[in-house]
Structure 1
Amino acid sequence: PTVHLGVAASAMEKRGIRTERGDLNREIEVTNQKLRQLKARISKLQNWLKEESENTEPPTLADYIQGILSRKAQTGKPGYSQSLYNLKDAAKMLNFLQTNNIMDMTGLDEKFKSMIGEQLDIQGKLKPVERRLGTLKKHLEQADIYFKCKGKKPLTEAEQILFTTAKDYLKGIMNGKTTIPTKTWKEEYTKLTAERKTLNQRYLALKEEVKEAEKIRKSVYSILRQEQREQQPHRKQDMER
């Protein structure tokens, strides 16, 4: 705030005569103006920082790993297993982390567990499909024997045994129905065969993905452990200073 001029100093200032208090007030006014400008600039900067923090995504695990590998490459001290010298392996690892948006080790572990879970889920879906296909195969085999032997005269002893066995089998599964649903069984068998093929393909592909993910997971752990070991001496030195 400015100082009170007083009657005499005020009169002199009005006549154009500079006074000590008048000069002080002018200096205060200039300072106040600079402070207002500075405050406005700080406010603007704070708003910009807030916007940047909202728009900037935190670094991912891939960013962190890439930074470590880049630093090692620049210093000429890789220090990691030979597999990590391979650019193809490193690119594959970083691509996996980026594609799955893995932010940290917890995210990596969760991704790995979800892949294992999906693998188990496919196994769970395959089991009933396999069982049903086995059942349908037997239904169709017995129906085929039944229709081949039915009405054939005379039947050999072996054929008669096969016919009787097939007839009894079909009677046991028909639940009182008289029409054998051969067409329905064949359609279901074809559909389930295609489903089994799809599940098997996904299972085999996922098996390879899990294998690759496990390799990546071990590599990431190895890099982070070594980075931690290398950082410990620096932290100790900083504490001793």
Structure 2
Amino acid sequence: MEKKGIATDKGNINREIKHQNMILREISRRIKALLNWIRGIGKEEKVENENIKSTLPTKENLLSVLENLIRKNADKNNADLEKYIESYQLLKEKNITSINQLKESITDLRDKNYKTTRALKDTEKKIDDRTQLVDQSEKYLKYKDIYKAYTKLKKREQEDFYNEHTAELILFESAKKYLKEQLGESKTLAISKWKSEVANLKKEKKSLYNQILEIREEVE
């Protein structure tokens, strides 16, 4: 269907997952870049009258360092200046004044991203599981009567009946096998309950996805 230009639910889901994974990879990349930036920012400050680079102490006022870098680059109007100003404004807004605070902030973001990502993937699996239960249950009920009619026929009549209803019988047997694997001996098909759970899980997924987008904004 997708090849013919007709969108399918599965195709839409796959595209959505692909897009989510792209965002998650981008978040990881940006967090890594921030950590590398932390390690390198102290090297921007050269020791006065010496041609060597210093290491920024973890408790040194980061805003003061950036102020110095902004002043030194004020007349250059280059990309570095824009980067320093943007960093200064962001850190001031978040009240981050030291390397330690910045590291803690980024670590918190990384942990939050990991937990939210795990929760998102767990929720997606639950949605898929419930959706499969609903789908297979509906097929089971839809073709149950055809299967019953087939089993009641005499053996010599079954072949013609099977040839006429091959697709329906295969779908029924497949659904029956799946439901037995998932539900065991239980014969209760809680379709309404599962549909309700899917609806709630989709809301939960949307909330988690929005959290992922918020994390991305924080590391931009």
Tell me the equivalent position of 2:131. 137
Tell me the equivalent position of 1:109. 103
Tell me the equivalent position of 1:84. 80
Structure 1 position 90, deviation (Å): 4.6
Structure 1 position 104, deviation (Å): 0.8
Aligned length in residues:
147
Say whether the 8 Å CA contact 2:63–2:91 is kept in structure 1: yes
Deviations 1:35-88 (A, max 9, x none): xxxxxxxxxxxxxxxxxxxxxxxx953355235524653xx4x5xx922333xx
Structure 1 position 174, deviation (Å): 2.7
Tell me the equivalent position of 2:143. 149
- The question of 1:125 aligning with 2:114 is answered no
Tell me, in whole angstroms, the C-alpha distance in 2 between the residues paired with 1:110 and 1:207: 17
Tell me, in whole angstroms, the C-alpha distance in 2 between the residues paired with 1:67 and 1:82: 15
Structure 1 position 189, deviation (Å): 0.9
- The question of 1:188 aligning with 2:197 is answered yes
Structure 2 residue aligned with 1:198, among 200, 203, 207? 207
Structure 1 position 139, deviation (Å): 0.8
Tell me, in whole angstroms, the C-alpha distance in 2 between the residues paired with 1:84 and 1:180: 63
Specify every segment of 5 or more residues in structure 1 that has no aligned partner in the other structure, as ranges: 1-58, 213-241
Q: How does 1:222-241 map to 2 (within 5 A)?
A: none
TM-score (norm 1): 0.52
Question: In structure 1, the residue corresponding to 2:97 is in which secondary structure?
Answer: coil
Tell me, in whole angstroms, the C-alpha distance in 1 between the residues paired with 2:184 and 2:100: 54
Specify every segment of 5 or more residues in structure 2 that has no aligned partner in the other structure, as ranges: 1-59, 151-160
Q: Percent identity?
A: 25
AA aligned to 1:146 is: Y
TM-score (norm 2): 0.56
Tell me the equivalent position of 2:24. none
Deviations 1:207-229 (A, max 9, x none): 3432x3xxxxxxxxxxxxxxxxx
- The question of 1:179 aligning with 2:188 is answered yes
- Please tell me whether Structure 1 or Structure 2 has the larger radius of gyration of its CA atoms: 1
Structure 2 residue aligned with 1:163, among 140, 155, 172? 172
Tell me, in whole angstroms, the C-alpha distance in 2 between the residues paired with 1:72 and 1:90: 9
Computed over aligned residues only, the root mean square deviation of the Cα atoms, in angstroms, reads: 2.9
Structure 1 position 129, deviation (Å): 1.2
Say whether the 8 Å CA contact 1:119–1:206 is kept in structure 2: yes
Tell me, in whole angstroms, the C-alpha distance in 2 between the residues paired with 1:119 and 1:146: 40
Say whether the 8 Å CA contact 1:60–1:101 is kept in structure 2: no
Say whether the 8 Å CA contact 2:62–2:99 is kept in structure 1: yes
Query: Where do 4+ consecutive residues of structure 1 move more than 4 Å?
Result: 152-155
Higher deviation after alignment, 145-154 or 125-134: 145-154
AA aligned to 1:65 is: L
Say whether the 8 Å CA contact 2:66–2:84 is kept in structure 1: no
Tell me, in whole angstroms, the C-alpha distance in 2 between the residues paired with 1:171 and 1:71: 72
Tell me, in whole angstroms, the C-alpha distance in 2 between the residues paired with 1:72 and 1:165: 70
Structure 1 position 186, deviation (Å): 0.7
Tell me, in whole angstroms, the C-alpha distance in 2 between the residues paired with 1:92 and 1:63: 14
Larger RCO (alpha carbons 8 Å, 6+ apart) = 2
Tell me, in whole angstroms, the C-alpha distance in 2 between the residues paired with 1:85 and 1:67: 11
Tell me the equivalent position of 2:66. 65
AA aligned to 1:202 is: Q
